[in-house]
Amino acid sequence: MIRGYCIGGGLGLAVCCDLRICSDNSKFAIPAAKLGLGYSYPGVKRLSDLVGLSFAKEIFFTARQFDAEEARVMGLVNRVVPQAELEAYVKNYADTIAGNAPLTVKAAKFIANETVRDESKRNPARCTELVEQCFRSNDYTEGRRAFMEKRKPAFTGT
């Protein structure tokens, strides 16, 4: 959840998060070029992987502040919501994720992260193992049963 200014180290931290939801009055920047400081490979790579090389270059080269809508267009944030609704929106979003099958979310996160790793460093065997864990889980049985019974599933992560 991003409310207001997300600049420099704050943006570096936000980029490490799986999802970013901000208020409509949020401002973003990496002012390194205005301060004369270097930005390490991992930080540049993480931002480039998120927003693409062209937008990453724009963010670093201009060092300018940009608004929430620009951040959304770049892919830096997932959602922009009115400031007054931010906290409730993020809580509802988190509750939605928490209500899903934990093993499925875990597998999806791992596999999605593998897609941006160097091909030589990817672990396809682990990806397959995580998917198989989902199909062997009690949650898979519960999910199918809840669907057939037209009710909300009660996942346990087992």
Report how far residue 68's alpha carbon sits from residue 81's, in angstroms, rounded to the nearest whole number.
9
Tell me the pLDDT band of 156, cut-offs 50, 70 and 90: very high
The closest of 32, 41, 40 to 61, measured between CA atoms, is 32
Q: Which residue has the tokens 């409509």?
A: 24
pLDDT, tens digit (0-9, with 9 covering 90-100), for 58-104: 999 999 999 999 999 999 999 999 999 999 999 999 999 999 999 99
Report how far residue 58's alpha carbon sits from residue 12's, in angstroms, rounded to the nearest whole number.
16
**Which pTM value belongs to this model?**
0.88
Q: Which two tokens stand for residue 85?
A: 């609704």
Compute, in degrees rounded to 10, the torsion defined by CA atoms 105, 55, 49, 32: -110
pLDDT, tens digit (0-9, with 9 covering 90-100), for 120-135: 999 999 999 999 999 9
Signed CA dihedral, 135, 138, 140, 141: sign only: positive
Give strand ranges (E) for the chain. Answer: 5-7, 21-23, 27-29, 66-67, 79-81
Report how far residue 11's alpha carbon sits from residue 15's, in angstroms, rounded to the nearest whole number.
6
Distances, alpha carbon 33 to alpha carbons 8, 63, 64, 65, 107, in Å: 11, 6, 9, 12, 38
Q: Per CATH, is 5-95 categorized as 3.90.226.10?
A: yes
| Ranges of CATH 3.90.226.10 domains, the chain | 5-95
